[in-house]
Amino acid sequence: MRKWLRYFMASNNTPFEIHVHGEVPLREDVTFEQIQEALKPLWRYAGAKSLAAAAQSAYEEEPGIRFDAQKHALQLCWTVPGDEDFRQALDEMCMGLNDLALTGAPIEVTFYDADFDDEEDGSEEDEARDDFAMYFVGPTPAAIMQVQRDLLVQDTIGLLERHFDGSELGEVIQAIDRLFEQRFDALVSSMQLGKPPRGSGGSSGGTGHGGGRKPRHLH
């Protein structure tokens, strides 16, 4: 499969291997047809005529795009060759999934510079054009902000616990909560929303830029 991917990328001038990873809990009444419609920007980008035709990842060891009926969740572990215009497909996908999501959820997207990966004679000054982004979906802005808040808390605690005891970080968490409450309040004037995001925990944190080149598959 990897030889096919390299050939496809070279012949179609697609410089990135793009990996999409996440799990989105869906409402109980969501059907496969609705999932297919929400993910249409992805499978159309891949050149397929249906979700089933595009569900397989470019890497055989990855499960691709799956609907777990038992958990009633959309699972994404899918790599596709592409370029910067894939970001538009991601934005459209998120808009579609917002209408189907049961709770807020993060989706990790890695742009891996395959051209750099193939360069054997590159100088030490050459840098890969790798990029990493977090996308968020959810039934309401409040649900999305809750996930963003939890990820930020997780990352902040992980960083500061190298230098401080966890019991000393209460004021930092309160400051993060205040920032999100201010952002939430800015939306209230034009929307009817639920309670602003607060809490003490967090889910698995996302990763930003820097710190050397990330592995192709972050998970």
Contact 99/112 with Cβ under 8 angstroms?
no
Q: Give pLDDT, residue 126.
A: 65
Q: What is the mean pLDDT of each run of 10 residues along the chain (219 residues)?
A: 46 78 97 97 96 94 94 96 94 97 97 68 62 94 92 92 90 91 77 51 39 50
Q: Give pLDDT, residue 197.
A: 55
From residue 138, alpha-carbon distances to 2, 9, 25, 36, 99 in Å are 34, 33, 9, 17, 8
Number of residues that this document lists for the chain: 219
Contact 58/1 with Cβ under 8 angstroms?
yes
Q: Give pLDDT, residue 113.
A: 85
Q: Give pLDDT, residue 3.
A: 43
Q: Give pLDDT, residue 187.
A: 73
Listed as own residue / partner, the contacts of 115-124 with beta carbons closer than 8 Å and 24 or more positions apart are 115/15, 118/6
Task: Say what the pTM is.
Answer: 0.76
The residues, ordered by sequence, that sit 6+ positions from 21 with a Cβ below 8 Å of its Cβ are: 76, 77, 78, 107, 108, 109, 110, 217, 218, 219
Q: Give pLDDT, residue 65.
A: 98
